[in-house]
Structure 1
Amino acid sequence: MSFDSLFSTSLCYGALGPEAGWTFMVPIVFPLVAFASLYIVGTVRIWRRSRRARLLRFRKALLFVCGWVALVAALVSPIHALGERLFSAHMIEHELLMAVAAPLVIASCPAAPMIWALPMRLRQALRAAGHIRVLGTIWTCVSRPVAATILHGVAIWAWHVPALFEAALQQGPLHYAQHASFFGTGLLFWRALLPGPSRGDACGSAVMHLFLTSLHTGLLGALLVVSPRLWYPENAIGSSLWGLAPLEDQQLAGLVMWIPAGLIYGGAALFLAGLWIRASARVQLRVIDLGAGISTDVSP
Structure 2
Amino acid sequence: MRLSVAVALWLLPALARAHGLFDERLAPRLPSLLGALLLAVAWLGHAAGCRRRPPPARRFWAFQLALLLSVLALFGPLDERAESSAALHMIQHMLLMLAIAPLLALARPLTQWRRLGGRPLAPAWRALARLARRPPACAALHGAAIWIWHAPGPYRLALEQPWWHVGEHACLLGSAWLFWWSVLQAGPRERGRALLALLLTGMHTGLLGALLTFARLPLYRDGGALADQQLAGLLMWVPGGLVYLLAAADCARRGLRRIGHGRPESGYSQGRGDDSS
State the TM-score, normalizing by the size of structure 2.
0.80
The answer (yes or no) to whether the contact 1:43–1:57 under 8 Å persists in 2 is no
CA-to-partner distance for each residue in 1:203-241, whole Å, 9 max, x for gaps? 2221111011001001111111111100102122xxxxx
Aligned partners of 2:135 and 2:190 also within 8 Å: no
2:222 maps to what in 1? 234
Does the aligned pair in 2 maintain the 1:201–1:279 contact within 8 Å? Answer: no
Question: Which shifted more, 25-34 or 86-95?
Answer: 25-34
Q: Secondary structure at the match of 1:155?
A: helix
Tell me the SS of whatever aligns to 1:64. Answer: helix
Which stretches in structure 1 are left out of the alignment for 5+ residues?
12-24, 48-55, 237-245, 286-300
Distance 1:274 1:235 in 2: 40
Structure-1 separation of matches of 2:124 and 2:216: 51
| Higher Cα radius of gyration | 1
Q: Deviations over 1:162-209 (max 9, x none)?
A: 11211121111111111111011111111111126xx24422221111
Matched residues in 1 for 2:30 and 2:124: separation? 36
Counterpart amino acid of 1:211? Answer: L
Could you say which residue in structure 2 is the equivalent of 1:176?
166
Q: Secondary structure at the match of 1:234?
A: coil
After TM superposition, give the deviation of residue 26 of structure 1 in Å: 1.3
SS in 2 for 1:235: coil
Aligned match for 1:35, one of 42, 50, 54: 42
Q: 1:46 aligned to 2:46? A: no
1:94-243 aligned at under 5 Å gives the runs 94-118=93-117, 123-127=118-122, 129=123, 136=127, 140=130, 144-195=134-185, 199-236=187-224
Partners of 1:176 and 1:95 lie apart in 2 by: 16
User: Match of 2:7?
Assistant: none
Distance of aligned partners of 1:7 and 1:248 in 2 relative to their CA distance in 1, 3 Å threshold:
farther
CA contact (8 A) 1:70 1:101 kept: yes
CA RMSD of aligned residues (A): 2.5
1:209 corresponds to which letter in structure 2? A
Amino acid at match of 1:42: G
Q: Matched residue of 2:216: which SS?
A: coil
In 2, are the aligned partners of 1:224 and 1:251 still within 8 Å (CA)? yes
Q: Summarize the alignment of residues 265-276 of structure 1 with structure 2, pairs less than 5 Å apart.
A: 265-276=244-255
Shift of 1:249: 0.6
**Gapped regions of structure 2 (runs ≥ 5):** 1-20, 265-277
Matched residue type, 1:276 = G
Amino acid at match of 2:49: G
Identity score, percent: 33
- What amino acid sits opposite 1:206 in the alignment? A
Distance 1:9 1:44 in 2: 34
CA distance change for structure 1 residues 33 and 130 in 2, over 3 Å: closer, same or farther? closer
